[in-house]
Structure 1
Amino acid sequence: MSRVSSREGHRWAAYGRGAVVALCVLGAVLNDMAFEGRYLVPVIITALMCATVLLVPRLRWPIAPLLVTAATAWWGWPLLPMLAVALFDLAVDRRARVAVGCAVAALGANLLSYRATSLWTSQSYASTLLLPVLAVLVGLWLGSRRRLLQALAADVEHLSVEAQLREEAARIAERSRIAAEMHDVLAHRLSLIALHTGVLATRSDTLPASVAERLGLLRATSVEALADLREVLGVLRDSDAAQTSAALTPVIRDVRELADEARAAGQHIGLIVEGRPEEAPTTHRLAVYRIVQEALTNARKHADGAVVTVRIDYRPPATLVEVTNPAGTPRTDTVGSGYGLVGLRERVTTLGGYLNSGPAGAGSWRLAARIPHPAGIEQNGTRS
């Protein structure tokens, strides 16, 4: 959008410049006609040449200042508006010294030029000095303003790119954490399968041959799957035991424990749970834990002392989470990354659900997510 508006601005600036230069050509012709009009054709040709070099971007430096300065030095008053345009361009491009030099050269050399349209008559002293000075001052101001706007636009674009990079980093970090957690969950379950099938395989003499063969195949397959999983996702795990334990926390703990800890810290929590956690996939329980954890943290930061209501429904066909809290007292002693909700949204979207967050009226805040159960999970009822 900004690029389109920038192109539109450049187009209208070109139209305005063309109109100004055309008026300067018309003024040169009218001025020469007012002063006897004996050199009308040379003045028109000179004015058209100056207009051409002023309108063609490649000729504006250094051809345009030199040609317009020489033309004004010779013809005087009819070409003075052209000189003002050239001085304006030089001032905008931060060539103020060159602009002053061109003005002094044109006005000084005009003392020896064509007398009928000389700039140094008793009636034109003020205009002769005022117009070049005004052109330089306006050009300096407009050039500074244009550079300031360009710097601000560059800063805004830089901040926008930085925000996008941070958001993308938050998404990548959340995906890595999800992968690490799933690695822990699946590794635990595959290890159990390998362990139990191994125990049964040791008693193969009491089992039918076909069953013993299938148990051996199942054990070998589970061990291979566990090795593949560790090879693919093991790089996402930290070797530090404390961090590994923290990664396993959502699998072991329940949301009720999280609510109890928040209450012990002085937070007012109302927890409503429908259904059993076992009715939802492990990935859903992990997501529920993270959502409630982030919601309670945000409530402590932005609505300290408010009652937080947490509603969770694990029953098919979807896992539902809703956390609401009224307005409270914002705390000033906490600083967050600002990307917690980005990570949650990435997690929920990965599971095929959606997450909404925002004001819920009367100053309250609502965070809600719906994660549909996989098609393979048996539904024990229906909900609207």
Structure 2
Amino acid sequence: MVPTLGTGHARGPGRCAAFTPDESRGWRAARAPTIGRVARHDARWPWWVETVLVVVVCFVSVPEASVATGGRFTSPDVVASLVAGCALPLRHRRPLPVTALAVAAGGCFGAMLPLLLVSFHLTALGKVKIAASSTALALGVNALVQPPLSLWAPRTYGPCGLLIVALALGLWASSSRRLADALARQMEHLHRERELRESAARSSERTAIAAEMHDVLAHRLSLIALHSGVLATRAEQLPPVVADRVRLLRTASTDALADLRDVLGALRDSTARGDSRAPALREVDELLDAAREAGQRVVADLGGDAAGAPAAHRLAVFRVVQEAVTNARKHAPEAAVHVRVRYGAPATRVEVTNAAGGEGAAVRSGYGLIGLGERVRALGGELEAGPSGDGAWRVSARLPLVPGPPPGAVPDPETCGDAGGRERRECHSTGKGRRP
């Protein structure tokens, strides 16, 4: 069977190694910051990068403006280049003033580097029209004013060409950012969808457990009502106190059966499993026989007293084997499946192994083991799913037996009849009393 959700082994009682709520929440918490960083991605650089940027811009622009104005470092051209370069780190918080300053410095005094960086920044943010308009305005003003540093003068690096390159790079950065944001939103949506499906799988499994246990409880309550009804027909042959208790028992069992059907009957809807009969009606050997008839190779090793095991254990074992055999048929149809079940103290154990599927294994949904984990944890057990050392896939479950009263033990009216509160509950829960 191909791994459905993960690998590993359970590390404590009530844990499902393939997928646990704690591990799910921890994994999502570890992934969330990454998604958030991508979703909130912007053009801001670290402070030291901004500092280096200002130094480089000023180091290039100021000497160039000084040379163009005859070596005067106090000329308006030098001051404009210096101010425009130092204002670049503010382009994130105050984009319009910084853009206006860069356009003025580039158009009136020929400061090209601040204009290049501002054009790239605006285009990367998706403000292509503003960037193109600012660049065109700076070029037009520069052509009219004709300062010592002209953006139209033939130079080796081509100012106009560099401005066009800055716009192109900004478009590429803007597209990359939009793609990253879209992927981040899609990842977040998929994670939320996965979480909702996992929650739905657990809820569906709990609903199935309640609906299946309804069959078991209804059967046993029906037996109690039936036998108490037989005794009630012979009330004249019983002592008056016993006859009253029998009538009370019959009424209580009938009412309890009706209440159980009213409360749990709503759990059976059109989306429920097609066959959710109790383990007494559907046993593991019946399931394995059906798998063999379908052409699947199944080797079974069933041991212990299944009739003496709790109904919830038998039902859980049936569901574990059903899920494991079904997944093996999907993902490794040619591999033999080995099923081993052991009923008895101190725990009921079930193990299903098969060779791992090949490259043609079907795509797995990943929610079957979530439901199994919910069912096993509800019984205080452990579920493990993952590859074994010999390259096979292994699913195993351990369901501990809860200590209870000895078979046939009934409360003693002489010791428990007049007990009150906690003592009465302890008396009935421990089964202290006489044997019939």
Find the partner of 1:70 among 90, 104, 107: 104
Name the CA shift for 1:2/1:116 in 2 (closer, same or farther; >3 Å): farther
Match of 1:226 in 2: 257
How many equivalent residue pairs?
372
Whether the 8 Å contact between 2:77 and 2:109 is mirrored in structure 1 is: no
Match of 2:127 in 1: 95
Find the partner of 1:286 among 288, 293, 315: 315
Find the partner of 1:306 among 335, 350, 360: 335
CA distance in 2, matches of 1:373, 1:20: 70
Whether the 8 Å contact between 1:318 and 1:370 is mirrored in structure 2 is: yes
Whether the 8 Å contact between 1:317 and 1:372 is mirrored in structure 2 is: yes
CA distance in 1, matches of 2:301, 2:112: 83
Whether the 8 Å contact between 2:350 and 2:398 is mirrored in structure 1 is: yes
Cα shift at 1:200: 0.7
CA distance in 1, matches of 2:209, 2:227: 27
Name the CA shift for 1:331/1:29 in 2 (closer, same or farther; >3 Å): closer
CA distance in 2, matches of 1:57, 1:217: 81
Task: Give the letter aligned to residue 167 of structure 1.
Answer: E
Match of 1:30 in 2: 63
Name the CA shift for 1:308/1:3 in 2 (closer, same or farther; >3 Å): closer
Name the CA shift for 1:131/1:21 in 2 (closer, same or farther; >3 Å): farther
Find the partner of 2:117 among 81, 85, 95: 85
For normalisation by structure 2, the TM-score amounts to: 0.76
CA distance in 2, matches of 1:34, 1:120: 18
Whether the 8 Å contact between 1:25 and 1:44 is mirrored in structure 2 is: no
Does residue 1:192 correspond to 2:223, yes or no?
yes
Does residue 1:296 correspond to 2:308, yes or no?
no
Find the partner of 1:110 among 133, 137, 142: 142
Task: Give the letter aligned to residue 297 of structure 2.
Answer: H
For normalisation by structure 1, the TM-score amounts to: 0.86
CA distance in 2, matches of 1:266, 1:9: 54
Match of 1:254 in 2: 283
- After superposition, residues 157-196 of structure 1 pair within 5 angstroms as 157-196=188-227
- Structure 1 residues 268-300: Cα deviation after superposition (integer angstroms, max 9, x where no partner): 222112211123210000011111111111122
Task: Give the letter aligned to residue 191 of structure 1.
Answer: S
- After superposition, residues 145-164 of structure 1 pair within 5 angstroms as 145-164=176-195
Q: Could you say which structure has the higher helix fraction?
A: 1
Equivalent position SS for 2:394 = strand
CA distance in 2, matches of 1:39, 1:112: 24
Identity of aligned residues (%): 44
Deviates more, 1:62-71 or 1:341-350: 62-71
Find the partner of 2:392 among 352, 364, 370: 364
Equivalent position SS for 2:72 = coil
CA distance in 2, matches of 1:219, 1:209: 15
Unaligned runs of 5+ in 2: 1-29, 408-436
CA distance in 2, matches of 1:194, 1:74: 101
Find the partner of 1:340 among 368, 373, 391: 368
Cα shift at 1:179: 0.7
Whether the 8 Å contact between 2:123 and 2:167 is mirrored in structure 1 is: yes
Whether the 8 Å contact between 1:53 and 1:59 is mirrored in structure 2 is: no
CA distance in 1, matches of 2:93, 2:394: 59
CA distance in 2, matches of 1:116, 1:328: 75
Equivalent position SS for 1:151 = helix
Find the partner of 1:136 among 150, 155, 167: 167
Cα shift at 1:354: 1.2
Whether the 8 Å contact between 2:84 and 2:98 is mirrored in structure 1 is: no
Cα shift at 1:56: 4.8
Equivalent position SS for 1:279 = coil
Cα shift at 1:378: 5.7
Equivalent position SS for 1:266 = coil
CA distance in 1, matches of 2:222, 2:273: 17
- Structure 1 residues 78-112: Cα deviation after superposition (integer angstroms, max 9, x where no partner): x2111011100121123333323222221221234
Equivalent position SS for 2:404 = coil
